[in-house]
Chains A and B, each alone.
Chain A
Amino acid sequence: MLNNKKIRLMTKLAVYENKEGKEDIRLSKYYKTDYVRYQILKSIISATIGYALILFMIFLYEMEYLIRHAVDLDYKTLGTYILGIYIIFVAVYGLGSAIGYSMKYDASRKKLAKYYKLLKRLNKLYNEETPES
């Protein structure tokens, strides 16, 4: 026999699982520290790629100058500058994504709590339905 209450619950759960829940459930498989660390790693890598691309474009832009002064260029200061800016760059991106992603994780946890509540209710319904097991 169809149990309307159960169907309603299951529908709600299914709709949530298919839409915004997808991301939340995926997040729930990580511990917070793991998740945030993973995201920081990813954004540092992408920041590195972006920085490298920018450097490449600057290099192309200044190519004439660089080639003309290839011998008497002060490579040490140049290297220090590139490295220093890179460190600032990565620090900003790492810090930013640490804050942003941990906020995101907390928010999704809150939404998941409601989801679990509904799941528990569904479980109770099941137990009521089949008391012999």
Chain B
Amino acid sequence: MMPLLVFRERVKNFYQRYDIYITPAVKFLFAFIAFRTINNEIGYDARLQALPVVLLLSLLSAFTPSAIMVLLAALLSTLHVYSISPILSIIIVLILLILYFLFARYTPRFGYVMLAVPILYFLKIPYMIPILLGLISTPVAIIPTSCGVIIYFLFQIIKSAVTMQVNITAEEIMQLYKYVIDSLIKNRMMIMTMVVFALILMVTYFVRKMKFDYAFEISIVAGALTSILGFLVSDLIMDNSNQILSMILGTIVSAVIVYGIHFFKLTLDYSGVEHAQFEDDVYYYYVKAVPKITVTTPQVNVKHINVKTADRGSKGTVRRQELDMEEDYDEDDDITVDKSQDYK
């Protein structure tokens, strides 16, 4: 364990020093993966598939807020569908608009979730999202997760609808429209998935909130178990037994990834260096505020209350210390904001 902890401190230090470069780079990578996945799955328009276009879009989203990336992805997929069937693209836009006006606009910070769910679905590890959100946010995140699930299934339907070649007669357009709507509304699989995702998120969240040692780690395991059980039941009900193996593997991989994220806890917004600019009557200040990271090698406090029980409880204290380690700039710090809570 020790080398890992030291490694973590190194990574944190590295991240803090170079965070201006790392954050855009990571965003670029994510955007690139997202756009590539979209191109692979519904790349009907060869022009948009070209590498320069993808690179340009990724570069654009590397330096802009994450909402822009979501918007670009929506635009890209709509354009892809538009190139093969304008009617289907209109249906997509309509449904996306409904989702936005009724649900998504209330959770603006989770916009990226709606993009991440479909993308991770194609990478076979969508189970990561509810576990991770249960870990770092509140049950409100159920809304964007459900929207993401709807979007994924919508595009699945679109993919099969595209194969039905349609002429421009009104009757056939209506048929196509009815087909899409029917298969979206009567999709039991989608509703099951939404329910199970919500369940995973709730279980992870409430276990995480409990007050015992290793609550975070146990909550990840609990979330993963909920996911396996939930999807096992839903797959058996849906008679979908060929997906069970990939579902279990996907859940395990997701749980491992979430554990990794939790272990490094590089929650991008918070652990980085702050750059601030301000002035007073005499000076301009360009301040770089580096959060204090106290442990390079973790300090273990063993309290000898009583010689016999001296070897107990040491691990618990370490863990609590890690949790309490927030970025205190100095002694009379007043604006340390509770990170885990205020995600809404």
Complex alpha-carbon distance, A46 and B98, angstroms: 9
Specify which chain A residues have a CB less than 8 angstroms from the CB of B315 in the assembled complex: none
**Chain A contact residue count (CB 8 A cutoff):** 36
Asked if A111 contacts B181 (CB within 8 A), the reply is no
A47-58 contact mask (Cβ, 8 Å, vs B): 1 or 0: 101100110110
On whether the beta carbons of B174 and A14 are closer than 8 Å, the reply is no
Contact B329 A12 (CB under 8 A): yes
Interfacial chain A residues near B277, Cβ < 8 Å? 14
Instruction: List B contacts of A117 (CB < 8 A).
Output: 334
Inter-subunit contact A46/B280 (CB<8 Å): no
What are the residues of chain B within 8 A of A6 when measuring CB–CB? 280
A50 close to B102 (CB less than 8 A)? yes
B10 at the interface (CB under 8 A from A): no
B-side interface mostly: mixed
- For residue B337, which residues in chain A have a CB less than 8 angstroms away from its CB? 20, 111
- The answer, yes or no, to whether B237 is at the interface (CB within 8 Å) is no
Q: How far is the CB of A92 from chain B (nearest CB, A)?
A: 11
Query: How distant is the Cα of A14 from the Cα of B102 in the complex, in angstroms?
Result: 35
The reply on A8 being an interface residue by CB < 8 A is yes
**Residue among B101, B274, B342, B344 with the most chain A CB within 10 A?**
B101
Answer yes or no: A26 CB below 8 A from chain B CBs: no
Q: Which residues of B contact A10 (CB under 8 A)?
A: 276, 278, 280, 285, 287
Q: Is the CB of B329 within 8 A of A11?
A: yes
A106 to B94, CA, bound (A): 35
Q: Which A residues touch B174, using CB under 8 A? A: 60, 63-64
A66 at interface by CB-CB < 8 Å: no
A85 to chain B, nearest CB (A): 14
A104 contacts B334, CB within 8 Å? Answer: no
- Give the interface residue-count category, chain B: 20 to 34
Contacts of A56 on B, CB cut-off 8 Å? 94
Given that A104-B344, A107-B342 are contacting pairs, would A2 and B178 also be in contact in the complex, using a CB cutoff of 8 Å? Answer: no
Could you mark each residue 77-101 of chain A with 1 if its beta carbon is under 8 Å from any beta carbon of chain B, else 0? Answer: 0000000000000000000010010
Interface of A is mostly: helix
How far is B277's CA from A49's CA once the two chains are assembled, in angstroms? Answer: 42
B178 touches A61 (CB 8 A): yes
Q: Contacting B334 at CB < 8 Å: which of A43, A107, A114?
A: A114
Distance of A81 Cα from B256 Cα, bound (Å): 50
Interface presence of A35 (CB below 8 A): no
At the interface, yes or no: B330 with Cβ under 8 Å from chain A? Answer: yes
Known: A50-B98, A61-B181. 19 other contacts (CB 8 A): A8-B330, A10-B278, A10-B287, A11-B274, A14-B276, A15-B276, A16-B335, A18-B274, A18-B276, A43-B105, A46-B102, A49-B97, A49-B101, A50-B97, A56-B94, A57-B94, A60-B174, A117-B334, A118-B335
Q: Which residues of A contact B (CB under 8 A)?
A: 2, 6-8, 10-16, 18-20, 43, 46-47, 49-50, 53-54, 56-57, 60-61, 63-64, 97, 100, 104, 107, 111, 114-115, 117-118
What are 20 A-B interface contacts by the 8 Å CB criterion? Answer: A6-B280, A10-B276, A12-B329, A12-B333, A14-B278, A14-B287, A15-B335, A18-B274, A43-B105, A43-B106, A46-B101, A50-B97, A50-B98, A50-B102, A53-B98, A53-B101, A54-B98, A57-B181, A60-B177, A111-B335
Interface residues of B (CB under 8 A from A): 94, 97-98, 101-102, 105-106, 174, 177-178, 181, 269, 274, 276-278, 280, 283, 285, 287, 289, 329-330, 333-335, 337, 342, 344
